[in-house]
């Protein structure tokens, strides 16, 4: 394998201001039950470390002790008495993929409104989403997270912003689902306070008051946020978008997040409809509006960020504001093609996201680097994005975007053991000499194994933590109930 340097970004230090809540400890304990093997050796595989030097091995090994990567190198692994061994011959080992933007509740509304613009799609789906409750959210999150795991994801965010009245504890429901599936989780306590009667897009039944949002946001951080190095659960604050929240909510959420030491997330510059809305309502572009309200900085990442001018990219680069690039969803909704190569060239942290399952029914994280590469090349030609840069966006780019570049995103001693072992011995990949090219440009390969925090979550393409067939039945039941309720 070539030792070509991969795109690598340094991350900001992780905040340690917020205390570990009892919910965070519970989630960590639940995740610890999934396939803990003590010392584990993956041997005989190609390895793409995605470290700063782009180190790669044609035939190498990794030794994991507990939840940390202990040793890696070329050739066979040394003997470690009592270790569990995984034969990696014919496989490529990469860092676990990192999903920087999702809406898990949408897993129970996939396939609806397949041919619409973003605003048309939202208008049609909000009445259905208004019927979600804690049970539907738990079912949706379990289905979505299981799908992510099978496509190489070890860390995922979620942006949950729909909180119907009397729906139960929706944030707790998805946190419980993440602990059950076993993924590292960074849910965003989202919010909307600008309903239709106040000039916003969502119906009034799914928006909250400013005071209620701020109280719930502070409570979520106190209950769940774990800032520790090996945290399985962190919280971010995430007002939904410029057309569904007030300026006061954006300002106050930024102040609260910085007081509590957590990150900030929102949708910005996704469509031209949003651009026209912000120009008409605020007299500035979406990017200028967010800058004006203090929504730039190394603790902020924007979802989509498609329609940016040179000035906006320069502001993001100067401030360290990150991007969750969602190429498949952008294509599904016809939202546009992001300036990915320009963002990377400017030094903007760029990670990848599948976005909500209602605008990306596959929700396959391994497909995102390939689609990111294709869209970038549509815009800038065949040299716009390389296969190794695409892989780096899905790993170190995501880690940098989420402020976790010292912990995850590359295969290095001392980092957390979040690893994806891809089986490239299939007929579909035979004859592709470079394993990274086979992974990014070839069909999505099966997972030989997926480790999260040193624990096996997927083995031979099957999830070990949940019964996917039962989850599928639950999802179908929940979707039917939601659609019937809306009708």
Query: Got the DSSP string for 242-294?
Result: TTTS-HHHHHHHHHHHHHHT-EEEEEES--HHHHHHHHHHHSS-HHHHHHHTT
> What is the C-alpha to C-alpha distance for residues 325 and 337, in angstroms, rounded to an integer?
10
Strand ranges (E), 305-347: 322-325
Q: Where are the alpha helices (DSSP H) in 58-209?
A: 118-129, 134-150, 170-181
- Secondary structure of residue 464 in the 3-state scheme: coil
Question: Could you tell me if 35 and 456 are in contact, meaning their C-beta atoms sit under 8 angstroms apart?
Answer: yes
CA atoms within 13 A on the CB side of 119: 13
- Secondary structure of residue 198 in the 3-state scheme: helix
pLDDT score at 203:
84
Q: Could you tell me the maximum CA-CA distance found in the chain, to the nearest angstrom? A: 68
Res. 5: pLDDT tops 50: no
Share of the chain above pLDDT 90, in %: 87
Element (H, E) at 84: strand 84-87
Q: Which two tokens stand for residue 12?
A: 């900001």
Question: Could you tell me if 355 and 401 are in contact, meaning their C-beta atoms sit under 8 angstroms apart?
Answer: no
* Cβ atoms within 10 Å, residue 370: 22
> What is the C-alpha to C-alpha distance for residues 173 and 191, in angstroms, rounded to an integer?
17
* Cβ atoms within 10 Å, residue 78: 12
pLDDT score at 37:
62
* pLDDT tens-place string over residues 157-192: 999 999 999 999 999 999 999 999 999 999 999 999
Question: Could you tell me if 305 and 266 are in contact, meaning their C-beta atoms sit under 8 angstroms apart?
Answer: no
**How many domains in the chain?**
1
pLDDT score at 28:
41
Residue 432 per-residue DSSP state: -
Q: Which two tokens stand for residue 456?
A: 């096996």
Query: Got the DSSP string for 345-382?
Result: HHT--EEE----TTS-TT--TTHHHHHHHHHHHHHH-T
> What is the C-alpha to C-alpha distance for residues 334 and 327, in angstroms, rounded to an integer?
10
pLDDT score at 205:
86
Res. 14: pLDDT tops 80: no
- Secondary structure of residue 194 in the 3-state scheme: coil
* pLDDT tens-place string over residues 215-246: 999 999 999 999 999 999 999 999 999 989 99
Q: What is the CATH number of the domain that holds 110?
A: 3.20.20.140
Question: Could you tell me if 212 and 191 are in contact, meaning their C-beta atoms sit under 8 angstroms apart?
Answer: no
Q: How confident is the model at residue 448 (pLDDT cuts 50, 70, 90)?
A: very high
| Domain residue limits at 334 | 1-487
Range 324-334 average pLDDT: 96
Residue 18 backbone phi and psi in degrees, to 5: -90, 150
Range 351-365 average pLDDT: 96
pLDDT score at 196:
87
Share of the chain above pLDDT 70, in %: 92
CA angle 49, 55, 56 (to 5 degrees): 75
pTM: 0.92
pLDDT score at 199:
83
> What is the C-alpha to C-alpha distance for residues 325 and 372, in angstroms, rounded to an integer?
8
Tell me which residue of 314, 323, 319 sits closest to 298, measured CA to CA. Answer: 319
> What is the C-alpha to C-alpha distance for residues 454 and 294, in angstroms, rounded to an integer?
38
CA distances from 202 to 20, 170, 197, 199 (A): 34, 18, 9, 9
Cβ neighbours for 111, distance < 8 A, ≥ 6 positions apart: 361
Q: How confident is the model at residue 17 (pLDDT cuts 50, 70, 90)?
A: very low
Tell me which residue of 281, 279, 251, 277 sits closest to 266, measured CA to CA. Answer: 251
Q: Which two tokens stand for residue 55?
A: 């180190």
CA distances from 57 to 321, 405, 444 (A): 33, 22, 21
Q: Which two tokens stand for residue 198?
A: 């106040």
Range 463-469 average pLDDT: 97
Res. 338: pLDDT tops 80: yes
pLDDT score at 36:
56
Q: How confident is the model at residue 391 (pLDDT cuts 50, 70, 90)?
A: very high
> What is the C-alpha to C-alpha distance for residues 158 and 453, in angstroms, rounded to an integer?
19
pLDDT score at 11:
31
Cβ neighbours for 454, distance < 8 A, ≥ 6 positions apart: 36, 37, 40, 64, 65, 66, 67, 68, 416, 417
Strand ranges (E), 18-78: 39-48, 56-65, 68-74
Question: Could you tell me if 369 and 94 are in contact, meaning their C-beta atoms sit under 8 angstroms apart?
Answer: no
In the beta sheet, which residues pair with residue 47? Answer: 57, 93
Q: How many residues in total does the chain contain?
A: 487
Range 349-367 average pLDDT: 96
Element (H, E) at 239: strand 236-239
Work out the mean pLDDT of the chain and round it to a whole number.
92
Res. 31: pLDDT tops 70: no
> What is the C-alpha to C-alpha distance for residues 405 and 397, in angstroms, rounded to an integer?
8
pLDDT score at 200:
80
Query: Got the DSSP string for 473-484?
Result: HHHHHHHHHHHH
């Amino acid at each position: 394998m070539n030792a070509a340097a991969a795109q690598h970004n340094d991350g900001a230090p992780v905040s340690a201001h917020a205390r570990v809540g009892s919910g965070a400890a519970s989630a960590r304990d639940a995740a610890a039950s999934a396939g803990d093997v003590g010392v584990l050796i993956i041997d005989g595989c190609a390895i793409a470390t995605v470290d700063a030097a782009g180190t790669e091995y044609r035939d190498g090994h990794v030794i994991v002790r507990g939840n940390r990567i202990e040793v890696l190198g070329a050739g066979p692994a040394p003997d470690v008495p009592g270790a569990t061994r995984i034969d990696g011959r014919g496989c490529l080992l990469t860092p676990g993929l990192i999903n920087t933007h999702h809406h898990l509740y949408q897993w129970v509304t996939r396939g609806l409104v397949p041919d619409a613009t973003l605003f048309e799609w939202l208008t049609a789906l909000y009445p259905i989403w208004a019927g979600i409750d804690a049970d539907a959210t738990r079912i949706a999150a379990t289905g979505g997270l299981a799908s992510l795991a099978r496509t190489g994801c070890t860390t995922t965010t979620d942006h949950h912003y729909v909180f119907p009245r009397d729906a139960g504890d929706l944030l707790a429901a998805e946190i419980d689902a993440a602990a059950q599936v076993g993924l590292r989780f960074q849910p965003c306590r989202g919010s909307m306070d600008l309903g239709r009667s106040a000039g916003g897009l969502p119906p009034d039944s799914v928006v909250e008051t400013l005071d209620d949002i701020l109280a719930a946001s502070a409570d979520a951080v106190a209950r769940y946020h774990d800032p520790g190095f090996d945290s399985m659960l962190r919280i971010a604050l995430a007002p939904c978008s410029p057309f569904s929240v007030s300026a006061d909510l954006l300002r106050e959420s930024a102040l609260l997040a910085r007081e509590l030491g957590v990150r900030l997330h929102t949708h910005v510059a996704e469509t031209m409809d949003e651009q026209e809305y912000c120009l008409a309502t605020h007299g500035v572009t979406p990017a200028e509006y967010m800058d004006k309200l203090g929504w730039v900085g190394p603790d902020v990442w924007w979802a989509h960020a498609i329609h940016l001018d040179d000035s906006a990219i320069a502001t993001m680069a100067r401030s360290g504001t990150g991007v969750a690039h969602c190429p498949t969803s952008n294509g599904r909704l016809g939202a546009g093609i992001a300036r990915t190569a320009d963002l990377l060239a400017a030094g903007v942290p760029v990670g990848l996201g599948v976005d909500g399952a209602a605008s990306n029914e596959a929700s396959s994280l391994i497909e995102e680097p390939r689609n990111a590469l294709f869209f970038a090349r549509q815009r800038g030609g065949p040299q716009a994005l390389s296969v190794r840069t695409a892989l780096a966006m899905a790993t170190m780019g995501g880690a940098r975007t989420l402020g976790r570049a010292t912990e995850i995103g590359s295969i290095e001693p001392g980092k957390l053991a979040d690893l994806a072992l891809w089986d490239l011995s299939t007929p579909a990949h035979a004859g592709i000499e470079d394993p990274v090219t086979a992974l990014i440009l070839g069909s999505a390969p099966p997972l030989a194994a997926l480790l999260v925090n040193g624990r096996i979550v997927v083995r031979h393409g099957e999830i070990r933590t949940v019964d996917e067939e039962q989850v599928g039945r639950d999802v179908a039941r929940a979707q039917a109930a939601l659609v019937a309720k809306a009708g």
